Structure 1
Amino acid sequence: MAEELTEQELHNLAMNVVGKDLEKNGFEFMAVNSKLKKDPQFVCLKDKKLHFIIVRAVLYPENPSEINYLFMETIKEHATKFKASTYYAGVGIANASDYEKPVNKEQNYIIKYDGIIKI
């Protein structure tokens, strides 16, 4: 039986996907926090402006683009104190051979990521 990825491992996968995307798009990392439930995950500078990016690993069948606006509102309030913009980055992860099976360490997985969404 293949070992399932832990919540932290799934989160790290999502962080890598988002981190590469931010880098490619010219964001400069000021702080990176990969601990679960510690927000924001990325504090970045771009065009001399501060950006807070919240990263979530979302398992199939949930929609990675679905945002918890109530939660994001508290992050946005925090970001406003720093004159920062707030973004959500949902990363969908599924077992490549069977979406219904858990993501594990011995099988490939599929990533669905549509980029950061401004809140």
Structure 2
Amino acid sequence: MSQLSEQELHNLAMNIVGKDLEEQGYEFLGVNSEFKRDPQFVALKNKKLHFVIVRAIEYPYDPREIPMIFLETIKQHALKFDACTFYAGVGLANSKDYELPVSSSEDYVVNYPGLKEI
């Protein structure tokens, strides 16, 4: 059993959010999958610029909880570009036992409440 690294968890969360954005009709202008480099997605929808910050949140933490301290910097940056800023927390847990880490050899459970405007 190989536990996923922070970067691998981040990539998993990025894929989940990326698919959601595509399904909602967002047009990607930039994608940054580097761990802790924000924003992860710069996208257009209805001619409006959107910054999307993605975080992989491991159980028992709540993906709906928005860490406002670090997001304030992103929000200020987005205002310079007249962009909307969204947070996408993706909860991930080992499907056999939530107390175990997410691994490459076992199924996982996703708790993705969707985009939240900040």
Residue 40 of structure 2: aligned partner? 41
Q: TM-score, normalised by structure 1?
A: 0.98
Which amino acid is 1:95 matched to?
N
Q: TM-score, normalised by structure 2?
A: 0.99
CA deviation map 1:61-92 (0-9, x unaligned): 00001001121111000000011000000000
Whether 1:67 aligns to 2:47 is no
Which amino acid is 1:52 matched to?
F
Q: Which structure 1 residue ranges, 5 or more long, are not aligned?
A: none
Q: Which structure 2 residue ranges, 5 or more long, are not aligned?
A: none
Aligned CA RMSD, in angstroms, stands at: 0.5
Q: 5 Å matches for 1:37-116?
A: 37-116=36-115
Which amino acid is 2:72 matched to?
E
Q: CA deviation at 1:31?
A: 0.1
User: Which 4+ runs in 1 deviate beyond 3 A?
Assistant: none
